[in-house]
Amino acid sequence: MRALVLGKGGREHALSWSLVAGGATVFAMPGSDGIATVAESVAGDSTSTVDVLDAVRRLHIDLVVPGPEEPLVRGIAEDLRAQGIAVFGPDRLGAQIEASKAHAKTLMRAAGIPTAAASLCQDFGAVEQTLAVHPDRTVVKADGLAAGKGVIVADDAAGARRAARRLIGQYGSVLLEERMRGPEVSLIAICHGRDYRLLPFARDHKRLLTGDLGPNTGGMGAFAPVPTTSVTAEECAERTIGPLLKLLDDRGTPYSGALYAGLILTERGPKVLEYNVRFGDPETEVLLPAIAGSILPWLDGAARGRLPSEAPQVVRNALGVVLAAQGYPDEPESGAEIAGLEAARAAGALVFHAGTRRLGDVWQVAGGRVVCVVGQGEGPSEARDNAYAAASFIRFTGAQWREDIGRSWDV
């Protein structure tokens, strides 16, 4: 099996690592110096069908695994499938579930999936009208791909107005949503048609600072599985994954690939905050180490329409701490020398590279999120202790990390 992973971040490093563990020879476009420790880098634009097709033919690739949403939104999966190439991911229309919040909301309503009440506003007048009637719709979402910067949870209607004005200027339209309360979990299903297999709940920590303070980020750490007594992953999927897959299949637009439901577990049951059409980052960095063996059979099975009969088996806990660059998330600074990567690995952790580069023997910061240090254990505390012990070996000027990843395990 020869696999091509598209992307260059920590999620793609984890995917490559897991595919290699399953016996695949892995290439990554464009990859990174960190990913190059497990997979050969291939130059090219991973959103370009021409570049990817060229690599697939030249390298005799059997399976293509897009990491981020952008290649999928641009139609890479559909274009490659039309050439008879196995790809893990949805076609252009399926990818709109992530690209357009309004489209996702329409599908959720049609499928009867529990989610927040919302209004689509295409100009500021509509924002004013909505907030006059529904002052509680203070979650403002850009209706387009926004690289993690398109959702603002305002404290009140005045804050929502300010956020909406800015996002309408940037993206054209926004969704104003009712604010829901409860613990959040990420639920990722590997899907083909109506069929799906679940990974366990994971939890991401979006805020920059310990105590859930500071600005939103791409994610400062994650852990999996998330113990919860209130509702199981299977129950959530029956309400939030199954009905969407059925609707799409009934409409003659079956979905294939990862479907990520960002869920909030409210007093009235689980509700969908958002869908993504890919694996989460940094959730992938903890989900893949938490399962037995490699994720390869599920990705390859979905790509070929033959999902394994069982879900991946959860055999341990994993917890990841992200070390981020000085200035992240607004203006991350590159160039600081990174020490201690080898010591962290020697301490037993997995170190997935998100924003690094190698100059000879020296590793440097080259992105906002730099590395995700993953500890594993039989229980949650052991995974946490192992992650933090290993992360303490890694040093670079201005490093930022949270002290409280996984401090509260229950929901």
**Interaction site with ligand GLY (CB under 6 A):** 204, 219, 276, 280-281, 283
**Nearer CB in complex with ligand GLY: 79/283:** 283
Which residue number has the CB closest to ligand GLY?
A: 280
**Nearer CB in complex with ligand GLY: 154/273:** 273
Q: How far apart are the first and last CA of the chain?
A: 40
**Nearer CB in complex with ligand GLY: 31/67:** 67
**Please, what is the minimum distance in Å from the beta carbon of residue 360 to ligand GLY?**
33
**Nearer CB in complex with ligand GLY: 195/281:** 281
Nearest of 282, 256, 269, 255 to residue 350 by alpha carbon? 282
Cα 88 from chain centroid (whole Å): 15
Residues, the chain: 411
Q: Between the CA of residue 258 and those of 42, 198, 216, 294, 371, what are the distances in Å?
A: 24, 10, 24, 16, 23
The conformational region for residue 133 under phi > 0 = left, psi -120 to 50 = alpha, else beta, is alpha
Task: Determine phi and psi for 184, rounding to 5 degrees.
Answer: -110, 145
**Please, what is the minimum distance in Å from the beta carbon of residue 182 to ligand GLY?**
17
**Please, what is the minimum distance in Å from the beta carbon of residue 282 to ligand GLY?**
6
**Nearer CB in complex with ligand GLY: 340/367:** 367
**Please, what is the minimum distance in Å from the beta carbon of residue 201 to ligand GLY?**
13
Specify the DSSP class assigned to residue 1. Answer: -
**Cα gap 314→225, rounded to integer Å:** 8
**Nearer CB in complex with ligand GLY: 220/351:** 220
Q: Is the peptide bond before 282 cis (omega within 30 degrees of 0)?
A: yes
**Please, what is the minimum distance in Å from the beta carbon of residue 206 to ligand GLY?**
7
**Cα gap 261→241, rounded to integer Å:** 8
The DSSP bridge partners found for residue 151 are 141
AA letter at 352: F
The helix (run of H) or strand (run of E) holding residue 240 is: helix 233-240
Angle, CA of 350, 352 and 358, to the nearest 5°: 115
**Nearer CB in complex with ligand GLY: 131/287:** 287
150 within 8 A of 167, measured Cβ to Cβ: yes
**Please, what is the minimum distance in Å from the beta carbon of residue 2 to ligand GLY?**
27
**Please, what is the minimum distance in Å from the beta carbon of residue 325 to ligand GLY?**
18
**Nearer CB in complex with ligand GLY: 255/363:** 255
**Please, what is the minimum distance in Å from the beta carbon of residue 17 to ligand GLY?**
18
